[in-house]
Amino acid sequence: MAKFEPRDRKVKILATLGPASTDPEMIARLHKAGADAFRINMSHGDHASHEKTFNAIRALELKTGHPIGILCDLQGPKLRVGKFEGGKAVIPHGRHFTLDRDPTPGDETRVQLPHPELFGLMEKGQRLLLDDGKLRLRVIRADENEILCSAEVGGVIRDNKGVNVPDAEIPIPALTDKDRRDLAFAVQHKADWIGLSFVQRPEDLAEARKLMGGYGALMAKIEKPLAVRHLSQLIEMSDGIMVARGDLGVELLPEEVPPLQKRIVEQARGAGKPVVVATQMLESMIESPAPTRAEVSDVANAVYDGADVVMLSAETAAGQWPEEAVTIMDRIAKQVENDPGYDVRIALSRGEPDPTTSDALAEACASIARTLRISAVSVFTSSGSSARRVARERPRVPLLVLTPSQVTARRTTLLWGAHPVRTKDIGSFEEMIAKGKRMALRHGFGEAGGKLVVLAGVPFGVPGATNLLHVVTLQGDELKRHGEADHLG
């Protein structure tokens, strides 16, 4: 078994797989370069190809002996225009343009909008954005059959391009029939995370949660302005949050996105939920072996903000330099985390802990790590909740997550600072201390004579019962006396 070397950074990297990267050898190279988990975009490909990708990731996990997370990202209810004569048309600036229910191929004056729920919903003055905002229409009037618009920004429009409606709540469910099939596939293949696209309201999460049947963690993608209005509720009802800046940037003014990103990261972190910053992070690396300076700053700012995860999309899915993109993102994150000002920035954005024993102990772990020369915080957890609480405090040292649960181990691959290890459960205080020390030494988190913080709950194996914190000194003979019996296959 090839030994996995712990990452020398705390922020995680989520890499999207696609035509450029689904080969098992490339997946292994991306993981070695720094990818902690992989995203499967259900908008592309079929279930047969996705199954091969699942199998390749799980085979790599078995080979390395280290958990690897999988996020299945559902397509969601993407709105699109119909078709044009010749496949495209040019809408002149300032001219009128009509969206209607007629399936006849469109031209420079009109096109079908195959979404009946929008007719009668649109009002005068509202905006319609076509092709990721490249074309901007303003509604003049609307009825049950037509939406007459003025083209504030015209241009070339092609078949089936996307439509964004930033000024109205669209009465459509977050899950399409395709999404339900894809979700069933993801649950069947034990995806660790499910990404729900185009969430508008808290109720959108309820159906997905029900269909998941208790398996997997639910990540709400914030990419609609309406979702921002319900941000607190969406964070509360989900297991994680993604700042999906693609569509979010289409429907908002460009200058509104950066402060919103910071707000979402701060609120998600305050709730102890992993937060992913996604879309166009190293976009130029789709074709170039090096990023722009602005892209480097963008990734660095997400790390400075305290995001749990930074994500690569087309850079690794379809780009010419997937391995290099992961490598550079890894280098950026390490450089930021080695900046003496990083800990100060992270501490300033820390929220107040909840008045519970578990939260008080998690805060104490970070405080001890600031005061003493601690090599790591070792957390025994079955559900992962204790690890999330400690990660929320952003301690200066790594977080060694020890769990008997394969589900928890894989899920925490998207948790800031966490190094998950699947190990046998513990039954006593003495066993907890001895195992915590052994696993820290075995995985390179400290050396003989160093100190370790151990966090757990008594009685052992009961979720949510974190009530015990202990500072121990590592001893060099621990490994000699206990072989490899701790690990679970």
Is residue 193 within 8 Å of residue 217, measured between CB atoms? yes
Find the distance separating the first CA and the last CA of the chain, reported in whole Å. Answer: 11
Among 384, 34, 410, 413, CA closest to 189: 410
Burial of 107 (C-beta count, 10 Å sphere; 0-12/13-18/19+): middle
Here the tokens at position 472 are 């121990």
Q: Is 161 tagged catalytic?
A: no
Catalytic residue among 83, 110, 127, 221: 221
Here the tokens at position 426 are 């513990």
Catalytic residue among 16, 22, 53, 279: 279
Q: Is 279 tagged catalytic?
A: yes
Question: DSSP readout, 46-113?
Answer: -HHHHHHHHHHHHHHHHHHTS--EEEEE-----EE---BGGGEEEE-TT-EEEEES--S-B-SSEEE-
Reported in sequence order, the residue ranges of 333-373 that DSSP labels E, i.e. its strands, are none
SS3 379: strand
Among 453, 458, 443, 450, CA closest to 476: 450
Is residue 28 within 8 Å of residue 17, measured between CB atoms? no
Among 58, 311, 66, 309, CA closest to 191: 58
C-beta neighbour count of 213 within 10 angstroms? 10
Catalytic residue among 80, 101, 178, 190: 80
Q: Is 39 tagged catalytic?
A: yes
Encoded amino acid at 482, one letter: H
SS3 140: strand
Helix locations, 197-244, DSSP H: 203-212, 225-229, 231-237
Reported in sequence order, the residue ranges of 293-440 that DSSP labels E, i.e. its strands, are 309-312, 374-380, 399-403, 418-422
Residue 129 pairs in a beta bridge with 136, 164
Catalytic residue among 39, 127, 273, 410: 39
User: What whole-number distance in Å separates Cα of residue 26 and Cα of residue 30?
Assistant: 6
Q: Is 83 tagged catalytic?
A: no
Is residue 186 within 8 Å of residue 72, measured between CB atoms? yes
Encoded amino acid at 162, one letter: G
C-beta neighbour count of 241 within 10 angstroms? 28
Question: Active-site positions?
Answer: 39, 80, 221, 279
